[in-house]
Amino acid sequence: MDDSFLKAGLDGVDSRDGARAVRAWRWLHWLLFAFSLLAIPAFYMQLAAGSPFFFELGRALYLSMFLGFACLLGWVAYLSREPKRFVLRNRFDVLMLLGAAASVAWGAMPWSQLEWGLRIAFMGIVALRIVFSLRTLLLPNRLLVLFVAAACLLAAAGAVFYWLEPRVHSYAEGVWLAFESSATVGYGDIAPTTPASRVFAAFVVLLGYGMLSLVFASIAAMFVGQEEKALRREMHRDIRHLQSEIAGLRKDVRDLREQREQRGRSELSAHRDHSNPDGCVQRSD
C-alpha cells in the first residue's frame, strides 16, 4: 500500500508485523467496513426521526458501530507486535471510533450549530472510509462492477429520498430525484426541501461525481487499452523482425569470419610451399 494511505491513517497492518495480526486483518477490515455503514442509517434515523423509537434506534446503531470498531481494533492491536504503531497507522479508524462514541453521548434534538458541523464532518469521514475500503473494487478498468455499484447506489438513494422527502410520492420519483442529484442535472421539477433530504442530496451529489468519473474513466480506459494492445502487437512484430534481421547479420558476420580464416590459412600454406618447394627441411652446419 502506498504512502498516501499511510498519511491518511488507513494503512492496515504492516506486512512485517506478526503473522497472526496480518492474517486477522485480511478479513477484519471488511467487518470494519460493515460497521462503518451503520453510521448512514443512524444519522438519518436521528435527523428525520418522527418518534423517539427511531431516534433511539439510531443511537443503538451508533453504539453498535462503536463497539464493533473498539473490539476489532483492540483485537488486532492485541495480536500485533507493535500495537502503538498499528494504532498510528489506522488513526482514521480511531477517529471514527471516537465519532461514534460522541454520537452515542450526544444527539438531543434540535442539534446546535456546533453539533451540526461535527455530525456532517463525521459523515464525511464515514464516506471517505467507505470509498477507501472499496478502492480495490472500484477500479477504472472494472466497468461492469462500476455499473452494478452505480445502479445499487441509485436504487438505494431513491428509497431514501422516498422516505425523507415529503414531495416525493413514489419510489420512481425518488429514483428520479436521486438521478438528478447524482448527475447534477437540476431540472427543478423535484427538489429536496427538508434538512434531512438536503443533507442526503449533498452526499448523493458527491458520490455521483465520483461514480460518473470512474465510469467515464473506465470507458476511456477501454478505448485506450485497445489502442495500446494494437500498438503493443505492432511493437512485438517489429521486435521480432529486428531480431530476425540481427540473427541474419550475425550469421553473415560469422560466415565472413570463417571465410577470412580459411583464406588466411590458405595463404599461409601457399607461402610455406613457395618458401620450400622440395618439401625438404634445410639444415645449417
- Domain end: 193, 209, 232, which one? 232
What's the pLDDT at 3?
47
Shared domain check, 148 and 117: no
Alpha carbon distance 5, 22 (integer Å): 17
Shared domain check, 187 and 72: no
Nearest residue to 123 via CA among 58, 70, 76: 58
Shared domain check, 179 and 116: no
Shared domain check, 211 and 88: no
Q: CATH number for the domain including 224?
A: 1.10.287.70
Alpha carbon distance 179, 101 (integer Å): 34
Count of domains observed in the chain: 2
Alpha carbon distance 193, 205 (integer Å): 16
- Helix H or strand E encompassing 231: helix 195-275
- Domain end: 84, 100, 135, which one? 135
Q: Which three cell numbers stand for residue 82?
A: 507493535
What are the backbone dihedrals phi and psi of residue 128, each rounded to the nearest 5 degrees, phi first?
Answer: -65, -40
Shared domain check, 223 and 185: yes
Per-residue pLDDT of the chain (285 residues; tens, 9 = 90+): 444 544 456 778 888 888 888 889 988 888 998 899 898 888 888 776 667 788 888 889 999 999 999 999 999 999 998 888 898 888 888 999 999 998 888 766 677 788 888 888 888 888 878 777 776 665 555 667 777 878 888 888 888 888 888 888 899 999 998 888 888 787 878 888 887 788 888 888 877 777 777 777 777 777 776 667 777 788 888 888 888 889 888 888 888 888 888 887 777 777 776 666 555 544 444
Longest dimension (CA), the chain: 135
- Domain end: 78, 109, 135, which one? 135
Alpha carbon distance 115, 121 (integer Å): 10
Shared domain check, 85 and 15: yes
Nearest residue to 32 via CA among 81, 122, 96: 96
Residues 6+ apart with CB under 8 A from 156: none
- Which residue range forms the structural domain that includes residue 161? 137-232
282 falls within a domain: no
Q: Which long-range contacts (CB under 8 A, 24 or more apart) does 247-253 make?
A: none
Look up cell 434506534; give the residue. 57
- Which ranges in 80-170 belong to alpha helices (H)? 83-89, 91-105, 113-133, 143-164
Shared domain check, 111 and 147: no
What's the pLDDT at 6?
44
Alpha carbon distance 234, 87 (integer Å): 51
Nearest residue to 86 via CA among 167, 136, 20, 183: 20
Shared domain check, 120 and 42: yes
What's the pLDDT at 194?
83
Compute the half-sphere exposure of residue 148: CA atoms within 13 Å on the CB side of its CA. Answer: 7
User: By the 8 A CB rule, do 204 and 182 touch?
Assistant: yes
Distance of CA 218 to the CA centre of its chain: 13
Shared domain check, 176 and 102: no
Shared domain check, 209 and 89: no
Shared domain check, 123 and 9: yes
277 falls within a domain: no
